[in-house]
Amino acid sequence: MKNQWFGLLLAGLCSLATAGEVTFKDPSGDDDGPGGYIYPTDAVYRPGSFDLTELTVKAKGKKVDFEVSVAQKLDDPWGMGTGFSVQMVFIFIDTKEGGHTQGVPGTNVTFAKDSAWDKVVILSPQSKSRVTSEAKEKAADIIGDIVVPTRTNGKGKSISGSVKLKDLGEGDPTTWGYQVVVQSNEGFPGKTDLLTRKVNEFEGQHRFGGGNDGDCDPHVADILAGAGKGEDSEKQAQYDMLKYACDEEGNGKQAVLTMVRAK
């Protein structure tokens, strides 16, 4: 009886320790978009820099903490002052029915209707004022659903930021759907790109290669896929999700993403 009581107490403590928190895993070695993408040639883009390994979401009272981890240790070669420079992360969140099926400008992705996103949290080394200004100019139609932490920090292999729960919506964050798009911070983006780096047919000093010079290919290095458990099979699930089609003019069918859920 004593051992049974102790087991129940331990189970209760374990449940309490994970209350309000959800973690998704992603396998290493799939930071090549739909398969075959190549990193830019400049030395600042170190192998694994865009290789998503984990997303952790923690709800704490009136705020929600987000932490995204990659395979390579972060550094700040461009002196952004945030502990990282080259990464740019979009965390799309499905909190309720309905929402947006078009991704953020510059990502070149869409979302399935049953995975439409309601809010997107942007983790960028750029200042909040720069990100917000760019969003107002290039994503005015969805500006109300773009959430930017006051400060985003990079330490070790993890990028983190906190936002107000009320800015995300009502409900339990552990029951929401999530999709993480790992991109690259671009200080001199295209006219319609929200601080995102392009993927071209051939790689260059600051351009990913292996894609298309039009706007049909996903400008994405890595995403969550499958059940978000980090299993090796999720690599193929990612490649399948990021499939796209291009015609000779660079137009075609963009990739369609779905959400990953813990519950």
Mapped to the 3 state alphabet, what secondary structure does the chain carry? Answer: CHHHHHHHHHHHHHHHHHCCEEEEECCCCCCCCCCCCECCCCCCCCCCCCCEEEEEEEEECCEEEEEEEECCCCCCCCCCCCCCCCEEEEEEEECCCCCECECCCCCCEEECHHHCECEEEEECCCCHHHHHHHHHHHCHHHHHHEECCCCEEEECCEEEEEEEHHHCCCCCHHHCEEEEEEEEECCCCCCCCCCECCECCCCECCEEECCCCCCCCCCCCEECCCCCECCCCHHHHHHHHCCCEECCCCCEECEEECCEECC
pLDDT per residue as tens digits for the range 115-139:
999 999 999 999 999 999 999 999 9
pLDDT band at 249 (very low <50, low <70, confident <90, very high): confident
Share of the chain above pLDDT 70, in %: 92
When the pLDDT of each residue in the chain is averaged and rounded to a whole number, the result is: 93
pLDDT at 1: 44
**pLDDT for residue 165 is more than 60:** yes
Query: How far is the C-alpha of 86 from the C-alpha of 181, rounded, in Å?
Result: 14
**pLDDT for residue 58 is more than 50:** yes
- Region 138-152 average pLDDT: 97
pLDDT band at 250 (very low <50, low <70, confident <90, very high): confident
Q: CATH assignment of 20-261?
A: 2.60.40.1190
pLDDT band at 19 (very low <50, low <70, confident <90, very high): low
pLDDT per residue as tens digits for the range 184-201:
999 999 999 999 999 999
- Joined together, the tokens standing for residue 96 give 């309720």
- Region 162-184 average pLDDT: 96
Which one has a higher pLDDT value, 42 or 170?
A: 42
pLDDT at 170: 86
- Region 90-115 average pLDDT: 97
**pLDDT for residue 6 is more than 60:** no
- Region 225-253 average pLDDT: 94
pLDDT band at 248 (very low <50, low <70, confident <90, very high): confident
Which one has a higher pLDDT value, 47 or 6?
A: 47
pLDDT at 251: 83
Closest to 90 in 3D by CA, of 35, 148, 47, 142: 148
- Region 197-226 average pLDDT: 97
**pLDDT for residue 227 is more than 50:** yes
- Region 12-16 average pLDDT: 32
pLDDT at 8: 40
Query: How far is the C-alpha of 125 from the C-alpha of 131, rounded, in Å?
Result: 9
pLDDT at 14: 34
pLDDT band at 18 (very low <50, low <70, confident <90, very high): low
**pLDDT for residue 253 is more than 90:** yes
